[in-house]
Amino acid sequence: MTILAIESSCDDTSAAVLVDGKVMSNTTSSQKIHERYGGVVPEVASRQHHVDIVPVVNHALSLADCQLKTLDAIAYTRGPGLLGSLLVGASFAKALALALNKPLIDVHHMKAHIMAHFIDEPKPNFPFLCLTVSGGHTQIVKVISGTKMEILGQTIDDAAGEAFDKTGKMLGLGYPAGPEIDRRANLGKPVFSFSETKLPGLDFSFSGFKTSVLYFLQKEKLKDPEFINKNLDNLCASIQNAIVHMLVSKIKQAAIQTGITEIAIAGGVAANSGLRTALLNMANQLDWKLYVPEVQYCTDNAGMIAMAAWFKLQEGEFSDLAASPDPRWAMDEA
């Protein structure tokens, strides 16, 4: 069985070909245009997807040495994401499915981030816990099967990726700031501390932390206008340390609460080296089996959409042409 998958939920246009559960190609065009605005501009993203989608799909097909006539199903991200961006991928997938007379599979973006773990070895065993941390989401999910998942906790305000990007912006870093904070954190020391919100249960909150960084910087800049420049690496290390601490303490709590010791991380922030190291240390201490995907499968990519679609296909879960993209598609409705 051959699946062509398309991802266009935010600012990456991506296509992948999967054959019998194996990702044969996975190619992404990342939109650089948003850097100058300090964040993704939805209307611009949608127009750029429109420009990129045909070449990206053709590239994925040719890398996999695959022709349109050999496809058995077309998969696409139906949500959550930006409506204008989702519409481009969904319309393209529907048009292709109609023209080729092949079935459609609608994929939930956050479930797909988790299913990225099934692209390479080692694969987690069900049930496992997944900490999914991206620019739009922060969740702890109990993964019961390839299609059945339950959210145990999530952020009540900003996502972890936003906490990186927004505090990075306060430091004068470009968008997205997460990777640059990560790079600089490795050159500095976490000498500054910020207030961390600790909600009861497994939910997260990052807005208080963000405000605490803002007030701290304002206060220090009054004393020394060059404070940020002089302390940039240490500030990055301190911000990363606080965010990682908030994430790791909740996944530890979830593991204790559920008794599950198969732990995975997913989403763009899973690329963070501080988070990876902290989880590896915890896994050693608590005898967890930790699953960390390759960086190319952490950030948005169609390989993960193809893998999630493969599980849906095996369950006979297909979509139809009437299904609309859903920017707020709930995980338990997908």
Q: Which stretches of the chain bind Zn ion, using CB under 5 A?
A: 134, 300
Among 84, 89, 179, 303, binds ligand KG4 (CB under 6 A): 179
Q: Which residue has the tokens 């559920």?
A: 258
Residue 176 as a binder of ligand KG4 (CB under 6 A): the answer is: yes
Q: What angle do CA 214, 220, 226 make, to 5 degrees?
A: 105
178 or 188: whose CB is closer to ligand KG4? 178
96 or 119: whose CB is closer to ligand KG4? 119
**Which of ligand KG4, Zn ion, none has residue 25 at its interface (CB below 5 to 8 Å by kind)?**
none
235 or 305: whose CB is closer to Zn ion? 305
Name the closest residue to ligand KG4 (Cβ).
Answer: 268
Residue in 138, 135, 165 with CA at minimum distance from that of residue 246: 138
DSSP string, 25-75: EEEEEE--GGGGGTS--HHHHHHHHHHHHHHHHHHHHHHTT--GGG--EEE
Residue 190 as a binder of ligand KG4 (CB under 6 A): the answer is: no
Q: Are strands 73-79 and 104-108 parallel, antiparallel or unpaired?
A: parallel
Interface residues for ligand KG4 in 64-103 (CB under 6 A)? Answer: none
Q: Which residue has the tokens 């990186």?
A: 164
**Which of ligand KG4, Zn ion, none has residue 272 at its interface (CB below 5 to 8 Å by kind)?**
ligand KG4
134 or 241: whose CB is closer to ligand KG4? 134
42 or 103: whose CB is closer to Zn ion? 42
User: CA dihedral in degrees (146, 95, 90, 85; nearest 10)?
Assistant: 150
Residue 188 as a binder of ligand KG4 (CB under 6 A): the answer is: no
165 or 300: whose CB is closer to Zn ion? 300
Question: Minimum Å distance from CB 90 to Zn ion?
Answer: 16
Residue 96's identity, in one-letter code, is L
CB atoms within 10 A of CB 39: 15
To the nearest 10 degrees (0 to 180), the angle between helices 160-170 and 227-258 is: 170
**Which of ligand KG4, Zn ion, none has residue 271 at its interface (CB below 5 to 8 Å by kind)?**
ligand KG4
Residue 163 φ/ψ region, left for φ over 0, alpha for ψ in the -120 to 50 degree band, beta for the rest = alpha
Interface residues for ligand KG4 in 219-278 (CB under 6 A)? Answer: 267-269, 271-272
Residue 164 as a binder of ligand KG4 (CB under 6 A): the answer is: yes
Binding site for ligand KG4 (CB under 6 A): 10, 134-136, 161, 164-165, 176-179, 182, 267-269, 271-272, 299-300
